[in-house]
Structure 1
Amino acid sequence: MYKKIKTEEIFKGRILDLKLEYFETEEKVLKREIVEHKDAVAIFPIDKDGYVYLVKQFRFPVEMDVLEIPAGLVEDGENYEETALRELQEEIGFSSKNLEKVFEGYNSIGFCTEKTVIYRACDLFSSKLPEDDDENLSIVKIHFEDLKKMYFNGEINDFKTAMAILNEMNRR
């Protein structure tokens, strides 16, 4: 059994905090680096004709353009569903009359508290909110059958997008 005995705050940022946490066991004290990160949502928007709306954007940590489903952080005072609908409007200019939670899990459970909830959105309708100031993304509309091929060809390298594709394949 582990007992937390001490926490040191190393860094406090806008979307994440870094802490050192100390845990006592029967034999020794363990030190762990913990990233506390806001939770996120990701949305798999698919229209009645089987087209999926993705975004392509440069991701600084990996220094490359990534094709992924719309996603974003849960802001203070928002619930997951509200965040999902807001992100759809900001990133692809649509909202949804049918939002279904299909997955909930931790991104990197070994060191980070961030949880992502993935939704499937259908019954889409036009509804645009302004993009975030620091986002430069393009919308990519692709038929699900082509997206599935991209997944199997190793062209999808984003975990939340891969999870959403697998969920959709399982539904069919």
Structure 2
Amino acid sequence: MVKKNIGPEILDSRIVASSRLFKIESLDLRFSNGVERTYERMKSSGRNAVMIVPVTESNDLLLVREYAAGTERYELGFPKGLIDPGETVLEAANRELKEEIGFGAATLLPLKEVVLAPSYFSSKMTLLLAKGLYPEKLEGDEPEPLELVRWPVSQAEELVSHVDFGEARSITALLLALKQLSQE
């Protein structure tokens, strides 16, 4: 069993920078051995996110190609988004599917909750497998229509090495979904 560690004592915390989207928090910490350090992290908005691996009846993965400002190019990945206040993980996942790919899911199976970079972020993302897809479209908040890309599950290995499929969360979601599908 892994021992749960509470962590160092927080001596002080303050916002040192902010933008429209992010706040950077500085933490003064004292560790159990008396060593003191200052760490910086993205202050949590309190909202977590979902990423969904949709699989069709014909065993195709449904991905989206959308612009990513961080890499300054279009990236291939799975539908994802923030959980709105008052929404459950499953409600958010189904809403994001409808907004981004025009399908809802009869079955949503949570695979794992992940953190992007725990040294800098506290927000969590729940990865889910979606099956029993049915057509239903909701208006999303994307600035342009997303390109829907169908990819055969049987060619998942090629997807992992595809140049446009590089987001770590999407790769993690795919590998967990493949493991789940192989057990069904």
The TM-score with structure 2 as length reference comes to 0.85
Q: What's 1:16 paired with?
A: 22
1:4 and 2:4 are equivalent in the alignment: no
d(CA) in 2 for partners of 1:14, 1:83: 23
Q: Is the 8 A contact 1:55 1:138 kept in 2?
A: yes
Q: What's 2:166 paired with?
A: 157
Q: What's 1:86 paired with?
A: 95
d(CA) in 2 for partners of 1:169, 1:86: 23
Q: CA deviation at 1:101?
A: 0.2
1:27 and 2:13 are equivalent in the alignment: no
Q: CA deviation at 1:136?
A: 4.3
1:41 and 2:50 are equivalent in the alignment: yes
SS at match of 1:141: strand
The unaligned stretches of length 5 or more in structure 2 are: 1-6
Report the residue type matching 1:32 in the other structure. Answer: Y
Q: CA deviation at 1:158?
A: 1.1
d(CA) in 2 for partners of 1:166, 1:154: 17
1:135–1:36 Cα change, 3 Å:
farther
1:70 and 2:79 are equivalent in the alignment: yes
Q: Is the 8 A contact 1:44 1:70 kept in 2?
A: yes
Q: How many pairs are equivalent?
A: 172
Out of 55, 65, 72, the residue aligned to residue 64 of structure 2 is: 55
Q: CA deviation at 1:135?
A: 4.8
Q: Is the 8 A contact 1:36 1:114 kept in 2?
A: no
d(CA) in 2 for partners of 1:12, 1:77: 26
d(CA) in 1 for partners of 2:140, 2:151: 21
d(CA) in 2 for partners of 1:153, 1:134: 25
Larger proportion of strand: 1
1:163–1:74 Cα change, 3 Å:
same
1:155–1:13 Cα change, 3 Å:
closer
1:140 and 2:146 are equivalent in the alignment: no
